[in-house]
Structure 1
Amino acid sequence: MSTTNPLVEAFNQTAYPVIGHGKRNVSVLIEALEQIDPELDSDNYGSGEVIERFQAQIAQYLGKPSAVFFPSGTMAQQIALRIWCDRKGLKKVAYHPLSHLEIHEEQGLQELHQIESILLADKTRIIRLEDVVNLKEDVACVLLELPQREIGGQLPEYEELEAISSYCREKGIKLHLDGARLYETLPYYQKTAEEICSLFDSVYVSFYKGIGGIAGAMLAGDEEFTKESKVWKRRHGGDLISLYPYILSAEYYFNERKDKMGLYYEAAKELADFYRACRALEVRPQVPVSNMFHVHVPLPKSKLEPILISVYQDTEVGLTANLKENGEHACYYEVSLGDRYAKIPKAKLAQAMKLLDERTADVL
């Protein structure tokens, strides 16, 4: 019995997929390694030129004294929060109810580290200064995700970030940045990564999401913090004998794409205009603040999926491969733009959006 998802299959067959940079296949690694000297020594249990050079580059980019490469962001963030909890002698942290730690990690923070999570704000909006000020319990650390992926990539205004940072420092609360998509926020804020990270005590960034590498993450902070994180990395089994396939691909695509985030942001705003012209569709946020937004449709998955497949077949434009239910009678999908968008003929895109508008309106 086939388990192929018809929408995924139809999306993969389109000539002009809209989202992302490209297919995640072996070519991602091959391209990254093409220019590498084959005699370059690999890293060895966290040391060596390959890993130390890249760690130094990212530490400088983020404006932090030191950085440590991790195989995953899940590992890096749990360790960051564990360190701050141990420092304060208080195993409580606060973050958004749709944080990755809360909904995607099988309660890893609680089961592995016995850390209690205090949820801030509600599932429909970002964390505000008032949420932090009105905390009913003491916490060792507050985690902010920029942008907040699960609600369409929303962002607080920069002045509010500054206010949250000042408040936390005044109260002795550490502030950690879930910066999996930090790079994508820079065009909206018109700030450097260093300026944003200066508001935080520790920072995590990813190299496979907006950057498009294979896997890997970096955890940055002061020297004492990162030294301690290396010990926890070993305890977690993350100190592999060699991580160079991840490191070299991360380094290559970081250097290739870090300066293109403005292009992806402008593309998102342009595409959101197309979506807003569709009568039955809602864009959240209405005007994107990064290269990401969500499209909400007042139809169940079972009715939207055949509409999308028909649009893909008629136009060769693929809008999404995944739909998420939003109750019984609605669904939504995430749009995250990268290199692919610029390759789509505008006439093709306009045709696809016109058909999507007409066919969703007809069903409704």
Structure 2
Amino acid sequence: MDAKVFLKETYGNTRYQLGGHGKRTVDVLKEAIVNVDDRLPSDQYGAGKVIEDFQQKMADYLGKETAVFFPSGTMAQQAALRIWCDAKGLKRVAYHPLSHLEIHEQDGLKELHGIETVLLADKERLIELDDIKGLDEEVACILLELPQREIGGQLPDFEELEQISGWCRNNGIKLHLDGARLLETLPYYRKTAAQVAQLFDSVYVSFYKGIGGIAGAILAGDEEFTQQSKIWKRRYGGDLISLYPYILAADYYFDMRAEKMGQYYEEAKELAELFNSCHTVSTLPLKPATNMFHVHIEQPMESAVRIVSEVQQETGIGMTGYLVQSAVDRCSFEISVGDALAAIPKDSLKELFRLFNQKLQPPH
């Protein structure tokens, strides 16, 4: 596993940050509920106006019949894949080797559901139609992650998605979208969320990543699918007596930021150019496909930690809270552009990259 070094002290003490929407504090909730009518009835065990109105809003946005609010995406996606496996009577699914389910969930899909997984493509690239056509084993469902986070937020062409969708439907394979960052893909595709979602049988969207809410997710599909998902939500213990803090925050920040994804995307491309102008630094991809990309530094970990820490301390601008070592002389970190970047004074941003580039230069 890649070594990871946290830079909590220097990052935590910065005034500005390159990525995200700002530091996560309880103000995220306070801001969302300041104008909410305190007489509004709470949702209870998955029912009530608060949750039902938001679920319908998201179903309409995604162009699906119905939608269900889950407290976590992990819960929602495992439920989705189990439903499709049960429908086909086959406990086998396929996804990318760096799928969240494969590397971040402690094998929950396998341990809790006994579902076998087939890994498509390799770690360095996106899944392509030929990978799916070349499957040696029958699968009930294929999961596609848009964008593919662990390789810098890369995206397939929309035409490739259409071909994959058509092939899966013609061959009786369900297609599920890990759309944790679906909204972030829309400026690149120049499509609506519904136009992307129509290619998939089920869709998951997160509300704490690009949207910047507290937590929570939507799982959308047809009526039969979502009714089954409600059963699995109950089995998982996801039907808390009330989920309204998550829902109110999700709704508030969705309305605030859904239409700003194009701005974040343009700013991410400009930011990537600044990183790529620095000595021994490159981004993956070179031109971001979304507001997210990875920054690679060709320096030993010890040197990179020192340089980034010094730059953060001297400028008061947080570049990253961690570095991941991927080779002896190479490390990286991830940036997702949000509201925070625009708050940085232009002169301060210019000074950040001047200083960063200077410190990356070899000693004379």
Q: Deviations over 1:120-150 (max 9, x none)?
A: 0111111111111111110000000000000
- Give the match for residue 318 of structure 2: 318
- Give the match for residue 83 of structure 1: 83
Alignment partner of 1:213 is 2:217 = no
Unaligned runs of 5+ in 1: none
Which amino acid counterpart does residue 112 of structure 1 have in structure 2?
L
Aligned partners of 1:313, 1:213: CA distance in 2, in Å?
28
- Give the match for residue 298 of structure 2: 298
Alignment of 1:90-169 (within 5 A): 90-169=90-169
Q: Deviations over 1:100-133 (max 9, x none)?
A: 0000000000000000010001111111111111
Aligned partners of 1:24, 1:351: CA distance in 2, in Å?
26
Report the secondary structure of 1:266's partner residue. helix
- Give the match for residue 277 of structure 2: 277
Aligned partners of 1:7, 1:95: CA distance in 2, in Å?
32
Report the secondary structure of 2:154's partner residue. coil
Q: Percent identity?
A: 61
Aligned partners of 1:251, 1:269: CA distance in 2, in Å?
28
Q: Deviations over 1:243-289 (max 9, x none)?
A: 11111111111111000000100010000110111120011001001
Alignment partner of 1:60 is 2:74 = no
- Give the match for residue 235 of structure 2: 235
Alignment: residue pair count: 360
Alignment partner of 1:335 is 2:335 = yes
Aligned partners of 1:300, 1:80: CA distance in 2, in Å?
42
- Give the match for residue 179 of structure 1: 179
Which amino acid counterpart does residue 151 of structure 1 have in structure 2?
I
| 1:189/1:82 CA distance change after superposition, 3 Å | same
Which amino acid counterpart does residue 135 of structure 1 have in structure 2?
L
Determine if contact 2:19/2:340 at 8 Å carries over to the other structure: yes
Unaligned runs of 5+ in 2: none
Q: Deviations over 1:307-344 (max 9, x none)?
A: 11111222222111111110232110001110011111
| 1:363/1:232 CA distance change after superposition, 3 Å | farther
Q: Deviations over 1:231-250 (max 9, x none)?
A: 11111111111111111111
Determine if contact 2:292/2:337 at 8 Å carries over to the other structure: yes
- Give the match for residue 344 of structure 1: 344
Which amino acid counterpart does residue 348 of structure 2 have in structure 1?
K
Q: Offset of 1:298 from its aligned partner?
A: 1.4
Alignment partner of 1:353 is 2:342 = no
Aligned partners of 1:186, 1:242: CA distance in 2, in Å?
32
Q: Offset of 1:347 from its aligned partner?
A: 1.7
Which amino acid counterpart does residue 224 of structure 2 have in structure 1?
E
Report the secondary structure of 1:294's partner residue. strand
- Give the match for residue 203 of structure 1: 203
- Give the match for residue 225 of structure 1: 225
Q: Offset of 1:301 from its aligned partner?
A: 2.3
Structure 2 length-normalised TM: 0.97
Aligned partners of 1:105, 1:12: CA distance in 2, in Å?
27
Q: Offset of 1:363 from its aligned partner?
A: 6.2
Q: Offset of 1:6 from its aligned partner?
A: 7.1
Aligned partners of 1:361, 1:320: CA distance in 2, in Å?
20
